[in-house]
């Protein structure tokens, strides 16, 4: 059995297959196509493309934040693990995830709220930063509330929490608010790998 072994060749062939088989891909602007292709590549599913929602200012706002050396704040460490470290360093981007902080854990135990939710509530204004929520719907609900009240104003929200309790609803709320640029995947599907893939797609747009 013959198969491709060169990493560059594997990626090029993967993207060519995605371009041939993803419904409606050509209808997206070129930069947004790159994001959709990364999501398809990560999930191995051509049919996820119609679920992707990208705010009209998302790419421009995200790239501006990246080139200004923003902080990337994530809900879980798994998202951080999937980000391209070389690209983050190239742009001087700082990363933060407070879900494992002892004070966050203590407050979660005391109040019965999720650690991800409390971490977002304690993240500050997030002005000019990129927030990536790839796992916890409660974190996205909390962020939406902060955005709605004007307490937080990130440059971009990548919101792809996954699951059957609150994930779809939290993403619907993010889109309905329409107060900050966002990238999301409608419905119950999502996860840290998709969230990281979206951020990496932006990092590759030098």
Span 34-68, pLDDT tens digits: 999 999 999 999 999 999 999 999 999 999 999 99
Q: Helices then strands (H, E): number in the chain?
A: 10, 6
Q: For residue range 76-130, list pLDDT tens digits in order.
A: 999 999 999 999 999 999 999 999 999 999 999 999 999 999 999 999 999 999 9
Q: Does a structural domain hold residue 8?
A: no
Q: Is 71 helix (H, G, I), strand (E, B) or coil?
A: strand
Q: Does a structural domain hold residue 41?
A: no
- Mean residue pLDDT of the chain comes to 95
Gyration radius from the chain CA atoms:
17
Q: 42 and 194 in contact (C-beta within 8 Å)? A: yes
What is the average pLDDT across 6-35?
A: 88
Q: What are phi and psi of 60, to 5 degrees?
A: -60, -45
Q: 119 and 105 in contact (C-beta within 8 Å)? A: no
Distance of alpha carbon 189 from alpha carbon 167, whole angstroms: 8
**Residue 6: pLDDT band with limits 50, 70, 90:** low
Query: What is the pLDDT at residue 41?
Result: 95
Q: Does a structural domain hold residue 165?
A: yes
| Domain extent at residue 110 | 47-203
Q: Does a structural domain hold residue 170?
A: yes
Q: Does a structural domain hold residue 29?
A: no
Query: What is the pLDDT at residue 4?
Result: 72
CATH number for the domain that contains residue 113: 3.40.50.10230
Q: For residue range 138-190, list pLDDT tens digits in order.
A: 999 999 999 999 999 999 999 999 999 999 999 999 999 999 999 999 999 99
Q: Is 41 a catalytic residue?
A: yes
Catalytic residue, candidates 6, 41, 55, 67: 41
Q: Does a structural domain hold residue 180?
A: yes
**Residue 1: pLDDT band with limits 50, 70, 90:** confident
Query: What is the pLDDT at residue 8?
Result: 73
Query: What is the pLDDT at residue 7?
Result: 72
Question: Does an H or E element contain 173, and which?
Answer: helix 167-177
Q: Does a structural domain hold residue 116?
A: yes
Say if residue 5's pLDDT is above 90. no
Count: domains in the chain: 1
């Amino acid at each position: 059995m013959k198969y491709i072994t060169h990493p560059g060749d594997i990626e090029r062939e993967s993207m060519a297959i995605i371009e041939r088989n993803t419904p409606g891909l050509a209808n997206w602007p070129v930069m947004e196509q790159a994001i959709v292709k990364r999501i398809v590549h990560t999930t191995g599913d051509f049919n996820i493309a119609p679920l992707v929602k990208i705010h009209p200012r998302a790419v421009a706002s995200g790239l501006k934040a990246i080139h200004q050396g923003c902080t990337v704040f994530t809900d879980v460490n798994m998202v951080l693990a999937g980000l391209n470290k070389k690209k983050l360093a190239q742009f001087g981007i700082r990363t933060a995830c407070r879900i494992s902080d002892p004070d966050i854990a203590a407050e979660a135990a005391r109040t019965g709220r999720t650690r991800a939710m409390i971490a977002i509530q304690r993240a500050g204004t997030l002005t000019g930063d990129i927030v990536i929520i790839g796992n916890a719907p409660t974190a996205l609900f909390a962020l939406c509330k902060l955005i709605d009240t004007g307490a937080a104003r990130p440059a971009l929200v990548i919101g792809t929490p996954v699951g059957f309790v609150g994930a779809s609803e939290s993403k619907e709320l993010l889109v309905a608010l329409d107060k900050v640029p966002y990238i999301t995947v409608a419905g119950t599907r999502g996860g840290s790998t998709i969230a990281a893939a979206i951020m990496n797609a932006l990092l590759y747009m030098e």
